[in-house]
Amino acid sequence: MGDAEKFVQGLAKTDILGSSAKKERFTGRPFYIDYDKAYLLVADAWKMKVGGIPQGAFLLAFYENEEKVREALLLRALRPAKLPTDDDIISSMVEYYKDSVKTAGKESQLDDFTRYEFGFSGLECRVLGTFYTDKNGDLAFGADVENFYSAHNYSVYKPDCQVLEAIANLRDCGAVPGGPIDVKVGSVRYSSSRRFQEQADDVPVYISPIDFLGKRTALFGMTRTGKSNTVKKIIQATADIGAKATGDVLHPKGGEASSESFTESGIPRYRVGQIAFDIDGEYANPNLQDEGTAIYEMYKEDTLRYSVLEKPGFRVLKTNFYSDVAVGFEMVKTYLGNDDSDYVRSFAAVDLQEPEDREDYAAIARYKRRLAAYLCCLHQAGFSAPKGLKVFFDGNKKIEEFAPGDPKGGLTLDKATGWFTTVWDNYESHPFFKKYRIEEGHDWADEDLKAILVFLSRKSKPGGSANVSGYKKLRGMLNLHTDSADRPFQVEIRDALRSGKIVIVDLSQGDPTVQRLYSDRICQFLFDDAMSRFVGNKPNNFLQFYFEEAHNLFPKKEEKDLSDVYVRLAKEGAKLNIGLIYATQEVSSISANILKNTQNWFIAHLNNDDELREIRKYYDFSDFAESLLRFSASSDKGFVRMKTYSNPFVVPVQIDRFIVAQNSHEKS
């Protein structure tokens, strides 16, 4: 019997409102309760009996005044609270200490009454919600308090392992956790020190892959705290549920298909595509730090790997800039995006889209001139062109008198470069251009062509000297070009994802500019494809995007550009069945537009107050702020605070270690 089956059977037998209130699990009595907080009186003896009360522990406060009121408040232990008698107790302790009286141990010289008084303390708790029986007699949970009674009517108990399992895996959507589609992700862990916890059985924690499909998921924590391990667990869970799809494959171009994303049994109708942007290369390649736990090793048959460099087993992320002009020019614009030079901005703003109106011959003629001049820029920059490539465009008889060659009959790139350069050198001085401007009411060369000619000639003004870098700025992109005639890589990636494959884009050997270039381009292409299907009333299968070191790619916190592709993925991805999973060290490094749309959170060790201030803004993570700062990044790997879409509150979890062997789990 598997973990999931055991859990379902155990949950059916768990009576949280009955069996939880066992005498040996008694923990304390509240002396104050309101809608948000509860303050408890606890004793050292009660703590020892239940195995301690670590910070963050779940407790249950039962109403005991009437049998017919079957409800329990779910509490979380936060911090010590002051008792009304504390001042007197402290005063007495100080007096004893001054007298060097032994106050603890077998040789304590305190009388029984004083020792008894010293053993009590206060505990502040957060009220997370209420367990109760509904009108059908079934157990229900509400994430608030509908009513509270006088504090003396409650007794507080620490759940045993079976009840804690039901609490930690609670779903607010009514689904039974641990069921057939759920995946064990780890076990409940309250604290870094584990003297008491090691003596108790592990309490499994499950995640529902449905929580991640089409949702936004964040993983925050310092380096080597287990973020990548958690991402791999999510990829594994998603691949497993995707394999249970009905078998329908969503054709990239549409076709007959159901508009429903899930079947009646609650699994995805179509296989789930997953793409990981692997900046460190740890998903595509085995690595010694994680003992060779690469996603590729587990799913070799269903995984395609791409790299910016040619290496065995990888497809190369290169574009033929001559045959795939639109994609190539988009990459050029991204590459030049940080250059503020006026002439560069003008070049990047050029329209190289072919006119839709095939009857607008003037627009087509202008487009062909722009395209030919742009290809000449590539040629001058050193992009290898297909053998014998010629460009065709409309020139003018008068121009051909001083610019040799017949463009309409076709020119090689060398001759076309000479033709355009000659035109630019004579553009202000030759009578033809002046006369054309007067007779036609506009220049022979439109603004886009002028911008390209500046780039090609490296002359900011016609007839001037070469005073700008121009096409030389493109030489940093030469390694992104291929002269092969294969399908563009982004089309291959789209088709693989639509058929439910895993795609790993290894960016580990690219500089930050190249990493951002490829990530932006692929994401934009897939987003546009999904939006096109959505607008065209065609179904989208779920596509899951994974970003390691997301701070290198995502917009910064202060950036407000809502058109950024990552912001659009976060804000609009849900309707397109696009999920976003991102990992980084700092909460404050991510745009608020992305954070505010994130439903799933995994928080590991954070090392400064600035990050804690950010994390306090979301859900009930403020309860864990101090502990996130305290615990060790090196010895507590995989120890996270987890809030998923269907869980009503944060759960502290030790994430299981991802290993290649299926159905085998070890602790991090």
**The residue type at 381:** A
Residue 8 pLDDT class (50, 70, 90 cuts): very low
Question: What 3-state class would DSSP assign to 358?
Answer: coil
Q: Mean pLDDT check: name the lowest of 137-146, 230-239, 255-264, 480-489.
A: 255-264
Which residue is it, tokens 């504390």?
Answer: 86
- The pLDDT, as a whole number, for residue 254 is 52
Tens of pLDDT, residue by residue over 107-128, are 666 666 666 677 789 999 999 9
**The residue type at 415:** K
- The pLDDT, as a whole number, for residue 9 is 44
DSSP structure class, residue 409: G
**The residue type at 208:** S
441-470 average pLDDT score: 94
Question: What 3-state class would DSSP assign to 117?
Answer: helix
Distance (Å, whole) CA 11 – CA 166: 6
297-316 average pLDDT score: 87
DSSP structure class, residue 363: H
Which stretch of DSSP H or E encloses residue 448? helix 447-457
List residues bridging with 270 in a β-sheet: 248
- The pLDDT, as a whole number, for residue 95 is 76
Distance (Å, whole) CA 598 – CA 217: 6
Among candidate residues 663, 662, 668, the one with its CA nearest the CA of residue 2: 663
Q: Do 453 and 423 touch, CB atoms closer than 8 A?
A: yes
Which residue is it, tokens 């990530």?
Answer: 519
Among candidate residues 238, 204, 236, the one with its CA nearest the CA of residue 7: 204
- The pLDDT, as a whole number, for residue 389 is 93
Q: How far is CA 264 from the centre of its chain?
A: 28
List residues bridging with 30 in a β-sheet: 40
Tens of pLDDT, residue by residue over 198-209, are 888 899 999 999
Q: Angle at Cα 366 formed by Cα 363 and Cα 367, nearest 5°?
A: 85
Q: Is the pLDDT of residue 286 over 80?
A: no
Among candidate residues 588, 663, 604, 608, the one with its CA nearest the CA of residue 636: 604
Residue 178 pLDDT class (50, 70, 90 cuts): low
Q: What is the CA radius of gyration of the chain?
A: 33
Q: Mean pLDDT check: name the lowest of 197-206, 248-257, 654-663.
A: 248-257
Contacts of 106 (CB under 8 A, 6+ apart): none
483-491 average pLDDT score: 80
**Other beta carbons within 10 Å of 641:** 24
Q: Is the pLDDT of residue 659 over 90?
A: no
Q: Is the pLDDT of residue 461 over 90?
A: yes
**Other beta carbons within 10 Å of 439:** 8
Q: Tell whether the torsion through CA atoms of 22, 26, 29 and 35 is positive or negative.
A: negative
Tens of pLDDT, residue by residue over 323-350, are 889 888 988 998 898 899 999 999 999 9
DSSP structure class, residue 204: E
Among candidate residues 664, 648, 658, the one with its CA nearest the CA of residue 167: 648
- The pLDDT, as a whole number, for residue 665 is 39
Q: Do 414 and 379 touch, CB atoms closer than 8 A?
A: yes
Q: Mean pLDDT check: name the lowest of 177-186, 373-382, 607-616.
A: 177-186
Q: Is the pLDDT of residue 7 over 80?
A: no
Residue 90 pLDDT class (50, 70, 90 cuts): confident
- The pLDDT, as a whole number, for residue 334 is 83
Residue 363 pLDDT class (50, 70, 90 cuts): very high
- The pLDDT, as a whole number, for residue 297 is 82
**Other beta carbons within 10 Å of 214:** 23
Q: Is the pLDDT of residue 166 over 80?
A: yes
Torsions phi, psi of 272, nearest 5?
-95, 130
- The pLDDT, as a whole number, for residue 575 is 94
Q: Is the pLDDT of residue 649 over 60?
A: yes
Residue 174 pLDDT class (50, 70, 90 cuts): low
Tens of pLDDT, residue by residue over 493-507, are 999 999 999 999 988
Q: Which of 47-51, 265-269, 514-518 has the highest mean pLDDT?
A: 47-51
Q: Mean pLDDT check: name the lowest of 91-95, 603-607, 649-653.
A: 91-95
Mean of pLDDT over the chain? 85
Tens of pLDDT, residue by residue over 569-607, are 999 999 999 999 999 988 888 888 899 999 999 998 888
Q: Tell whether the torsion through CA atoms of 519, 522, 526 and 531 is positive or negative.
A: positive
Higher pLDDT, 666 or 120: 120
Distance (Å, whole) CA 237 – CA 247: 18
Distance (Å, whole) CA 507 – CA 498: 22
Tens of pLDDT, residue by residue over 369-401, are 999 999 999 999 999 998 889 999 998 888 988
Which residue is it, tokens 């563009």?
Answer: 488
297-301 average pLDDT score: 86
| Strand locations in 311-359 (E) | 315-316
Q: Is the pLDDT of residue 33 over 50?
A: yes
Residue 175 pLDDT class (50, 70, 90 cuts): low
Torsions phi, psi of 382, nearest 5?
110, 10
Higher pLDDT, 24 or 643: 643
**For the packed helices 512-535 and 565-572, what is the interaxial angle rounded to 10 degrees?**
40
Residue 273 pLDDT class (50, 70, 90 cuts): very high
The model's pTM: 0.80
134-149 average pLDDT score: 85
Residue 100 pLDDT class (50, 70, 90 cuts): low
Residue 35 pLDDT class (50, 70, 90 cuts): very high
Torsions phi, psi of 357, nearest 5?
-80, 105
- The pLDDT, as a whole number, for residue 561 is 74
